[in-house]
């Protein structure tokens, strides 16, 4: 179940997703919040702009927050992201000891938290996360859908 705070912070992540879209990146945004309700970091995908296959929003948020606090273990934090994390990002969340993950839309192709894999709650790993999904899912889906529709139209126009 999600709270008003979850909706507020997911709006911040959605704003980051829109920034990604404006930069020509896949529109995914994320933010990391302390247990006290402080914003530790916010980011959006920069894979293309940084020429870095690991520059997913979630990874960038973890990097920034870890540098800020001086520790890779980001205990007592909640990560908000506009789409279900991939395998790489889910693994990083476990490794960083994130307490809670809140994501908007499920990812039918690459989702590694609930859809395809359940990495964040695997009994094989040394840490598990509390998971909340579906917060502002439709808003996230619409941003992503619009982005890929535009890409398909641009591609079609270039091949005509």
Active site residues: 58
Phi, psi (degrees; rounded to nearest 5) at 64: -65, -45
Q: How far apart (Å, rounded) are the C-alpha atoms in residues 96 and 136?
A: 25
- Can you read off the two tokens belonging to residue 150? 């535009």
CA 27 to chain CA centroid, Å, is 10
């Amino acid at each position: 179940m999600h709270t008003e705070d979850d909706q507020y912070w997911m709006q911040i992540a959605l704003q980051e997703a829109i920034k990604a879209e404006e930069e020509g990146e896949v529109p995914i945004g994320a933010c990391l919040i302390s247990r006290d309700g402080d914003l530790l970091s916010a980011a959006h995908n920069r894979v293309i702009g940084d020429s870095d296959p690991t520059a997913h929003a979630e990874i960038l948020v973890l990097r920034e927050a870890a540098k800020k606090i001086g520790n890779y273990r980001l205990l007592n934090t909640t990560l908000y992201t506009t789409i279900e994390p991939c395998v790489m990002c889910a693994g990083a969340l476990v490794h960083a000891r994130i307490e809670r993950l809140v994501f908007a839309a499920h990812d039918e192709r690459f989702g590694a938290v609930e859809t395809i894999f359940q990495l964040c709650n695997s009994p094989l790993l040394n840490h598990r996360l509390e998971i909340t999904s579906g917060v502002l899912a439709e808003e996230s889906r619409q941003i992503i859908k619009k982005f890929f529709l535009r890409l398909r139209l641009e591609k079609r126009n270039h091949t005509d």
